[in-house]
Structure 1
């Protein structure tokens, strides 16, 4: 099966549960405080348009745009985009595959990919990261959220199969796509999967 077919199947599964997903995760206030603080601090460094890659219901796109910076969200799930367009007025929301973004080279100062590549099979991830690098300005910042694990392995996510990534291994994939990793961390909470994030910049 091709990567585009896999991403289409995942989007179709999210369409089936979109209403419940929005109820659970449709605003930044429903996220943990550490996520809000991290994304706010990351966005504060940026001076130019920001892309929310895999924006879901658009809540993080709006969160970033509230800092008076242009923000665009892209997703493959029509129900998420419909909700975002109804709910948030400031950002733009577009239907797009992360491996084929409808933007010019070096258009954005930052790209947020917050749990938006967790369903990408390891073989499918490098082309997505290459595309995120393409639309970033030299020196532009990437913030990537993911499920962290001791080894690369698939697990049964409620919607579609997803992957645990060791942070070091994921950082190496980022390096191969032209990024330099700046910072990373993991966080554990009771009865929850281990959270990981990596902050990186596009090398000149």
Structure 2
């Protein structure tokens, strides 16, 4: 299978033009048009060109991929959590939240941050179960903390002074995180979320972590 010279000339100008040395130095594999030409130079081999394109794309994707050790990714200490399994999940999900934020996946950030805040507060309130259950903000008839929703967990944690009141004030964009999991709820309740809501969700998570890790 070959490509005519005219078509290849257009292709090389639009897609396969070798970048200027100042553009991504050393990133793309070197491009020599003669390496893809037939013996008589009348056409270019499409298979070879596609191989080059695939190699170039692979290098670009590898360069753009966010690594765990990237300066943009931060690890946090969750040793204040009593449940070792929850601790491992928290460490994993915190990295995932940051990747989602970098990728501008705002819905994912809100859902992951909300679920992580809920897990953290449930663990910490369980360590003070008696005080939590007798708190004024504790939901009536719900003795099991695992069935409390995020709003109830936040209200009790604020009342017990485990977290600052700023968590309660800023948490509105996170409290409905369960509802946006399902598109139907998102449509029926006309839920709106974006970069700002994701930023606030991440900020609330950071405040909760700061307050409980001290």
Q: Same fold (TM over 0.5)?
A: no
Structure with greater strand percent: 1
Name the TM-score class by shorter chain. Answer: under 0.3
After TM superposition, the score normalised by the length of structure 2 is 0.23
Normalising by structure 1, what TM-score? 0.23
